[in-house]
Amino acid sequence: MSGSELFVLECYDPTKEYHGQKQFDCGNQIINAFVAKSLRKQVRESLSRCFVLLDAGDNDRFIGFYTLSSFAILAPDLMAVKSSGLPSRVPCVRLIMLGVDKHYQGRGLGRRLMKSVFEKTLAVSERIGLYGLYLDADAQAVEFYIALGFVPLRTRDASRPTPMLMHIEAIRAATR
Ligand SMILES: CC(C)(COP(=O)(O)OP(=O)(O)OC[C@H]1O[C@@H](n2cnc3c(N)ncnc32)[C@H](O)[C@@H]1OP(=O)(O)O)[C@@H](O)C(=O)NCCC(=O)NCCS
């Protein structure tokens, strides 16, 4: 770990080599494998957009990231938050992956990445209709998202991810 506290958030460039990308370890093996093996290809093919957090004090080490895509939620899956008056497919932004390297966790960087996710979501909502921000949360991350304002869309079950939503107006309020 470096002594520097200068962290830079930038749009991930799939043509660039990132120091430490293959060694990235957030403690979640699925996310680690995705960063090492699939992230570059997925962004190159425009299946998601990625923003990466670099430690400028350690040779721009890859220490955190998130990926976003467009998504449509089926209206019945939103019963927990709205039971009628929605089209059959509800437009959303989807937060696919989020991670902060284990050595950098607990220092506000996850929250910083989520602030950026909210800003990106709001920016898109000024161009196309968006009901909110959707994600599938791992059991150990559900409380992290609830504290930010996300609502579980079904009863929590530790054996599978919990679908969660944050309405666009809640995102707007959280970024004020
Ligand atoms: C979840 C994750 C991104 C949080 O990153 P982080 O940099 O440690 O988070 P922060 O330091 O910004 O923490 C912000 C707040 O959330 C809390 N928090 C962090 N991780 C949490 C968790 N897993 N559950 C509940 N609360 C959590 C912190 O205590 C802090 O609370 P405070 O503001 O009251 O002090 C990180 O732990 C991670 O990469 N985990 C493994 C991958 C993962 O689970 N990704 C999400 C998959 S859906």
- Here the CATH number for the domain that contains residue 121 is 3.40.630.30
Which residues lie below 8 Å from residue 45, measured CB to CB, with a gap of 6+? none
Query: Whole domain around residue 34: which residue ranges?
Result: 7-175
Q: Is the CB of 116 under 6 A from ligand 1?
A: no
Phi-psi region of 99 (alpha: psi -120 to 50; beta: other; left: phi over 0): beta
Q: Does 2 fall in a domain?
A: no
In a domain, 155, yes or no: yes
Distance CA 6, CA 91 (A): 36
User: What does the DSSP 8-state code read for residue 97?
Assistant: E
Helix (H) and strand (E) counts in the chain: 5, 7
Q: Is 28 in the pocket of ligand 1 (CB under 6 A)?
A: yes
Q: 108 CB less than 6 Å from ligand 1?
A: yes
Whether residue 62 lies inside any domain: the answer is: yes
Question: pTM of the entire structure?
Answer: 0.96
Nearest protein Cα to ligand 1, atom 7: 110
Residue 164 resides in a domain = yes
Q: What DSSP element (H or E) covers 173? A: helix 168-175
The whole-angstrom separation of Cα 157 and Cα 143 is: 13
User: What is the per-residue pLDDT for 5?
Assistant: 78
1 occurs within a structural domain: no
In a domain, 36, yes or no: yes
Write down the pLDDT at residue 108: 97
* Distance between CA atoms of residues 21 and 138, nearest Å: 22
Residues in the chain with pLDDT < 50? Answer: 1-4
Q: How many domains does the chain have?
A: 1
Predicted local confidence at residue 2, as pLDDT: 45
Residue with tokens 């089926």: 74
137 lines ligand 1 (CB under 6 A): yes
Atom of ligand 1 nearest to the CA of 107: 11
Pocket test for ligand 1, best of 51, 133, 138, 144 (most atoms within 8 A of CB): 144
Q: Whose CA is nearest to atom 41 of ligand 1?
A: 26
117 ligand 1 Cβ < 6 A: no
